[in-house]
Structure 1
Amino acid sequence: MSLPAGEGRAEAAIRALREENDLLRARVSELQHALRPYNRQALEWGLGPSHTGMFATLAARSAASYEALALAGVGPTDGIRSPETVKTQIARLRKRIAPYGYRIEPVWGFGYRLVPPKAATETTDVCVAALRCAGTALRRAAQ
């Protein structure tokens, strides 16, 4: 039995879409694997799925657009959030990651960027300087 020409083209189109879908699924899997270290850290901090996705997106890029953060925060099947909703989620995420030394800064007209904590050596230098000052103050007080 032969198929009408229209049905043959439809079968070919379906086959091409399935192949493209398979390639896209493989690419998504690769990207998820690349974000895994950031996801693990966010989950250890108790961030929910929305904030975990946004944190991983920020951590993996020098700057993330509103659109990328919207997709990371809700996933492709939930619809895209408005920039105002992204701003609200970023404000909440800022509060959640601040205790770990991270900051989120706006990138005007584009989105946001993640600023990691200062290097451990800088923190150590500050602590040593503070202890020296405290020791000097204690010695002066004892005199």
Structure 2
Amino acid sequence: MDDLIEQQQKRIYELECRVRELEEELMPSTVAIPLEWGLPRCEARIFAMLTTRDVVPKQTLHLALYGDRFDGHDYPPQLVESHMSKLRKRVAPFGVKITGKRFEGYRLHNRHRFISQAAAPSTNPKIKSSEEQSL
């Protein structure tokens, strides 16, 4: 019985590590989000995700925001549109442009300028690195 418990604990640890890796892929902690933007957590997560690829589908953003919740299916997809609208308004004064294309997704223009060269944690305290989230 102890052997089974030990195997399960090892498997759980491996899966937790994999989840952290996938979260880092989707929303890298190396994204530099200036504090003066004042982004709430959801908007900061969306912004970080927009830096990961040229076009991010709305379904992918929805999954990134609510997929880790047991009641994730209770959050309507329109919430992504609402967060996106607020995010665009907050970052527009700083010269950041986010566009959307119907049936494709959202695009952050000049996205590479927001990715830090160093693998340091984000400058936004509202986005925690994978290690900080596991504590």
TM-score of Structure 1 vs Structure 2, range by shorter chain: 0.5 to 0.7
Letter in 1 for 2:79: T
Distance 2:24 2:53 in 1: 16
What's the RMSD between the two structures over aligned residues? 3.3
Q: Which runs of 5+ in 1 are unaligned?
A: 120-143
Q: Is contact 2:55-2:105 (8 Å) kept?
A: yes
Give the structure with higher Rg (CA).
Answer: 1
Q: Is contact 1:63-1:113 (8 Å) kept?
A: yes
More helix by share: 1
Flag the structure with more relative contact order, 1 or 2, with Cα contacts below 8 A and sequence separation at least 6: 2
Letter in 1 for 2:108: L
- Which deviations, in whole Å up to 9, do the C-alpha atoms of 1:7-64 show, x marking residues without a partner? x9x86984674254144134146437x72232x4154421010100001111221011
The residue that corresponds to 1:50 in the other structure is 42
Letter in 2 for 1:105: T
TM-score (normalised: structure 2): 0.61
SS across alignment from 2:84 = helix
The residue that corresponds to 1:70 in the other structure is 62
TM-score (normalised: structure 1): 0.58
SS across alignment from 1:35 = coil
SS across alignment from 1:37 = coil
**One of 62, 78, 84 as aligned partner of 1:90:** 84
SS across alignment from 1:60 = coil
| Number of matched pairs | 109
Q: How does 1:100-139 map to 2 (within 5 A)?
A: 100-116=94-110
Q: Is contact 1:104-1:115 (8 Å) kept?
A: yes
Q: Which runs of 5+ in 2 are unaligned?
A: 114-135
Letter in 2 for 1:69: L
**One of 38, 44, 52 as aligned partner of 1:60:** 52
Structure 1 residues 83 and 110, CA, compared in 2 at 3 Å: closer, same or farther?
farther
Per the TM alignment, residue 96 of structure 1 is displaced from its structure 2 partner at its CA by 0.5
Distance 1:100 1:28 in 2: 30
Structure 1 residues 75 and 46, CA, compared in 2 at 3 Å: closer, same or farther?
farther
Distance 1:105 1:29 in 2: 24
- Which deviations, in whole Å up to 9, do the C-alpha atoms of 1:77-120 show, x marking residues without a partner? 26253321111111111101101111221122132111239x9x
